[in-house]
Structure 1
Amino acid sequence: MKFDLHTHHERCGHATGTIAEYVEEAINVGLYVIGISDHSPYFAHKDDQPFPHIAMARSEFGRYVAEVLRVKEIYKDHIEVLLGVESDYFADKIDIYREVFAAYPFDYIIGSVHQTRGVSIFNRNRWKGLGPTEQTAEKKVYYELIRQSAECGLFQILGHIDAMKGYFPAFSDIAGAEAEVDAALQAVAANDLAIEINTSGKTKDVGGWYPSDAILERALHFGVDVTFGSDAHVTERIGDDLELVRQRLKEIGFSRWVFFRKKEKIVVPI
């Protein structure tokens, strides 16, 4: 069974295409399940849409959910459409997000750490002038936030858990944060979540996928479930590298991956 749980659309301001166009492309490439998971608004911000090219407006969120549910009904005889969302993890704002999301029938919520210490993980400049000790400290903070996100009780999937390497490939080689990485993975397993294999790394400087094989090997060791997400921002990337990911997971030793329906884990043999 082929599925893709991580897709974005024109509402977020940095993707193209309508929800229906993503669903149609998913049918064209032979998927059985497509998850719609655009970036949630910044619910805790005073403005309706403080960052128009990062996330949808708060006033658009209800319309987003309604459109996904409408498209789900239209295409129900052709493909299963799941209602998802990708949410930032802000430790001090999590209850605001929890209250908003509780009003909607989500199949799953992807929790992603996109900022640490108030700076985007994709900001190349954050690494300038940092020596090994400071780099290790930044990596520790990142994985501590990922651990917290696994334990907050809001998410079913954690998104791209080493995406900090996107524009700083040397991130993977920063030593000294192994305990924090393991603690994050153990929290994922303990809370029965999944991490995604996210193929959008190929669109960044690092190339390839998130997370690294080394992290996937540790995830297998701790009994962490995995899922698949292209993180498509254009329809052409739906299901991108899915078969290559499936083969690599088999080589690492995984025998299953999962998706979520009504927040229940659905196990699929690899």
Structure 2
Amino acid sequence: MKFDLHTHHFRCGHADGNIRNYVEAGIKAGLEVIGISDHTPYFGDPSDRAFPHIAMAKSEFANYVEEVLALKKEYEGVIDVLLGIESDYFPEHAETYRKILDAYPFDYVIGSVHSTGGVSIFNKGRWKGLGDKEKIAIKTEYYRLIAESARSGMFQILGHIDAMKGNYPDFSNIPAPGPLDECLKVIAESGVAIEINTSGKTKLSGGWYPSDDILERVLRYGVPVTFGSDAHKPSRVGDEHEAVAARLKEIGFTSWVYYKQKQKIEVPL
């Protein structure tokens, strides 16, 4: 079974195409299941759209849900369209996000940490002039936040758990195995899945999130895995699905999962 749970569209302000474009691209790519998972609005600010090029407007949120549900009905029997969302994890706003997200019939919610210390994980400049101790502290905080997001119970899937390497490939070499392993233990205990996200190829790091080294740890700790292209243009829907499946089997995985009505569905590899 072929599925892709991580796709975006024009509402977030940094992706191309409408939702129907992604559904049609999913059919063309041979998917049986496609999850639509655009970025939530930023609920930590009273304005309608605090970050126009990062997240959708609050006034578009209900329209987004309605459009996905309409397409789910329209494409029934052709492709299973799932209502997902990608939500940032902000500890200080977690309960606000939880209350709003719980009011809608999401099949799943992807929880992603996109910033630490108020700075984007993709900001190359954040690393300039830092010594080893400071780099380790940043990496430690990144994995502490991911672990906290898993404990929150808000998410079925955690997004791109080593994406901090995206525009700073040397992130992977920062020696902080303890925080990573502790994070993976928490994820396993929480029963949350992590995604293999193929959008790393669009960043300086290349490749996928997470690295093979992390996936080997993920298998050891018994964390379930899923697939997401993180497509920001329709042509990337399902990108490298077969290659990811093959690599997972080489590592030792025998299955992966997707979510429908927040229930985990296991699929053999």
What TM-score do the two structures reach when normalised by structure 1? 0.99
Write out per-residue CA displacement over residues 19-77 of structure 1, whole angstroms, 9 at most, x where no aligned residue: 01100110011000000000000012121101111000011100000000001001012
Q: How is 1:20-39 mapped onto 2 (pairs within 5 angstroms)?
A: 20-39=20-39
Q: Which residue of 2 aligns with 1:182?
A: 181
What is the SS of the residue equivalent to 2:39? coil
- 3-state DSSP class of the match of 1:154? coil
Aligned residues: 269
The residue correspondences of 1:129-148 to structure 2 (distance < 5 A) are 129-148=129-148
Cα drift, residue 187 of structure 1? 1.3
Aligned equivalents of 2:3, 2:268: Cα separation in 1: 12
Match of 1:257 in 2: 256
Output the CA distance in 2 between the equivalents of 1:122 and 1:228.
21
Give matches, 1:1-270, under 5 Å: 1-175=1-175, 177-270=176-269
Q: CA RMSD in A?
A: 0.5
Question: Alpha-carbon deviations, 1:148-177, whole Å to 9, x = none?
Answer: 0000010000000000000000000100x2
Structure 1 residues 177-186 or 122-131, which shifts more? Answer: 177-186
Could you list the structure 1 runs, at least 4 aligned residues long, displaced by more than 4 angstroms after superposition: none
SS state at 2:109 partner? strand
- 2:209, 2:236 → 1: CA distance? 15
Task: State percent identity of aligned pairs.
Answer: 62
Per-residue deviation at 1:191? 1.2
Supply the AA of the counterpart residue of 2:145: L
Structure 1 portions without partners, runs of 5+ = none
User: SS state of the match for residue 258, structure 1?
Assistant: strand
Q: In 1, distance between residues paired with 2:118 and 2:139?
A: 14
Query: Cα deviation per residue 1:231-265 (whole Å; 9 max; x = unaligned)?
Result: 00000000001000001000100000000000000
2: CA distance, partners of 1:147 / 1:103: 24
